[in-house]
């Protein structure tokens, strides 16, 4: 102890340091307990929600989102209290610090109105259950999967891996493609010669086969809904249909459905047209009938083509 006193360290300083360490240790343990409590509350909330909702995915997403926000908020509050207590144990007068923090808070309130707007918007976005973590959404025209929802920002990752961060106050439009259930919409084009009633029945049969498949039966909520002939395109009759699926499952179901439609149409000889062009010269420019004509050698063919070109050029010159 005499050695410490040479450096101006007293017994009171040592006890203060020990108390600070104990406070930080207690805060660390409390943080771990807090996570366990929130996890337990999340499980209880899920059990309650199962009595009133039908989608396990929807319940899990909302519970994960709310649990994440509550955990972060309580963790910040816990460590704020722990640091303030530790500073008090170290002999700091907290009254001027808190008074200064209050004045700074007022100043920041005027200077950081956008941050306050972001926090309030994030709070209502969570309470109204507009989007959840793992939802696939389009925010302000940018699509992707929601990775994080914070009180101030929302993090979106697009299909190509790009991360988009939106301040909650700047989000003006939200299109949630995975809320409660989803639809995959088909625009099936067939040739004009095909019987649309037959094609419609084939599509329904494919949908029924897929719904009976164990791999997709849980993802598909309702049979394929064929809406009918939607429009007459340039080279095809468009038949519109849709299938109802679990959230986020619409793309995997839709891709498999497209694969089966192509294979079935090939098997039944149903033509899927593609754009093409037919050139028609009219009655005055009918092609020469060469069937049964005597064969021409290369030089004679060149001479005939040259005469036609010369005659055409002379006509244009006379005009």
Nearest 5°: phi and psi at 139?
A: -110, 120
Higher pLDDT, residue 82 or 182: 182
Distance CA 162, CA 160 (A): 6
Question: Does one domain contain both 250 and 155?
Answer: no
- What per-residue confidence (pLDDT) applies to 21? 83
> Quick one: pLDDT band at residue 115, thresholds 50, 70, 90?
confident
- What per-residue confidence (pLDDT) applies to 113? 72
Number of domains in the chain: 3
CATH code where residue 226 lies: 3.30.70.100
Q: What is the mean pLDDT of residues 222-249?
A: 93
Structure-block tokens of residue 300: 């004679």
Asked if 184 and 249 count as a contact pair (C-beta separation under 8 A), the reply is: no
What sections of 50-152 are H helices per DSSP? Answer: 56-89, 94-111, 113-127
Q: Is residue 59 part of a domain?
A: yes
pLDDT of 235 > 90? The answer is no
CATH code where residue 55 lies: 1.10.287.1260
Question: Does one domain contain both 157 and 241?
Answer: no
Question: Does one domain contain both 161 and 264?
Answer: no
Q: Is residue 282 part of a domain?
A: no
Q: Is residue 106 part of a domain?
A: yes
Question: Does one domain contain both 108 and 72?
Answer: yes
Contacts of 288 (CB under 8 A, 6+ apart): none
Q: What is the pLDDT of residues 136-156, one digit of tens each?
A: 999 999 999 999 888 789 999
What number of other Cβ atoms are within 10 A of residue 115's Cβ?
Answer: 15
Distance CA 39, CA 129 (A): 20
pTM, two decimals, is 0.58
Between CA 292 and CA 300, with CA 295 as vertex, the angle to 5 degrees is: 140
- What per-residue confidence (pLDDT) applies to 36? 83
Q: What is the pLDDT of residues 40-91, one digit of tens each?
A: 777 776 666 555 554 566 566 666 767 777 777 788 888 878 887 777 777 7
Q: 163-171: list long-range contacts, CB under 8 Å, 24+ apart.
A: 164/139, 166/139, 166/140, 166/142, 167/114, 167/118, 168/117, 168/118, 168/119, 168/121, 168/122, 168/125, 169/114, 169/117, 169/118, 169/120, 169/121, 170/118, 170/140, 171/121, 171/125, 171/139, 171/140
pLDDT of 290 > 60? The answer is no
Domain hosting residue 61, numbered range: 8-127
Question: Does one domain contain both 77 and 164?
Answer: no
Q: What is the mean pLDDT of residues 185-212?
A: 94
> Quick one: pLDDT band at residue 221, thresholds 50, 70, 90?
very high
Question: Does one domain contain both 13 and 119?
Answer: yes
Question: Does one domain contain both 192 and 261?
Answer: yes
Mean pLDDT of all residues belonging to the chain: 80
- What per-residue confidence (pLDDT) applies to 112? 64
- What per-residue confidence (pLDDT) applies to 243? 95
Asked if 237 and 189 count as a contact pair (C-beta separation under 8 A), the reply is: yes
Distance CA 260, CA 134 (A): 29
Q: What is the pLDDT of residues 16-33, one digit of tens each?
A: 777 778 877 888 888 888
Question: Does one domain contain both 118 and 38?
Answer: yes
- What per-residue confidence (pLDDT) applies to 105? 67
Question: Does one domain contain both 55 and 148?
Answer: no
Higher pLDDT, residue 156 or 274: 156
Polymer length of the chain = 319
């Amino acid at each position: 102890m005499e050695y410490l006193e040479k450096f101006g360290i007293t017994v009171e300083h040592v006890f203060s340091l020990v108390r600070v360490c104990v406070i930080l240790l207690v805060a660390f343990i409390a943080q771990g307990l807090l996570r366990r409590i929130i996890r337990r509350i999340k499980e209880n909330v899920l059990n309650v929600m199962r009595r009133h909702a039908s989608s396990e995915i929807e319940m899990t997403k909302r519970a994960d989102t709310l649990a994440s926000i509550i955990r972060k908020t309580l963790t910040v509050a816990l460590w704020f209290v722990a640091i303030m207590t530790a500073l008090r144990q170290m002999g700091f007068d907290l009254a001027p610090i808190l008074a200064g923090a209050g004045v700074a808070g007022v100043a920041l309130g005027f200077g950081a109105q956008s941050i306050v707007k972001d926090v309030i918007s994030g709070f209502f976005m969570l309470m109204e259950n507009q989007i959840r973590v793992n939802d696939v959404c389009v925010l302000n025209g940018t699509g992707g999967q929601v990775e994080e929802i914070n009180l101030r920002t929302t993090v979106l990752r697009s299909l190509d891996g790009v991360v988009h961060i939106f301040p909650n106050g700047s989000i003006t439009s939200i299109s949630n493609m995975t809320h409660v259930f989803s639809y995959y919409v088909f625009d099936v084009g067939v040739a004009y010669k095909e019987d649309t009633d037959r094609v419609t029945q084939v599509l329904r049969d494919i949908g029924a086969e897929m719904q009976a498949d164990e791999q997709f039966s849980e993802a598909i909520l309702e049979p394929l809904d064929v809406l009918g002939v939607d429009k007459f395109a340039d080279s095809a009759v468009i038949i519109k249909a849709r299938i109802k699926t679990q959230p986020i499952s619409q793309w995997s179901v839709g891709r498999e459905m497209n694969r089966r439609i192509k294979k079935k149409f090939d098997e039944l000889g149903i033509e899927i047209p593609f754009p093409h062009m037919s050139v028609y010269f009219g009655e005055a420019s009918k092609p020469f009938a060469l069937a049964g004509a005597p064969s021409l050698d290369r030089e004679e063919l060149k001479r005939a083509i040259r005469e036609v070109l010369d005659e055409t050029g002379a006509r244009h010159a006379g005009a």
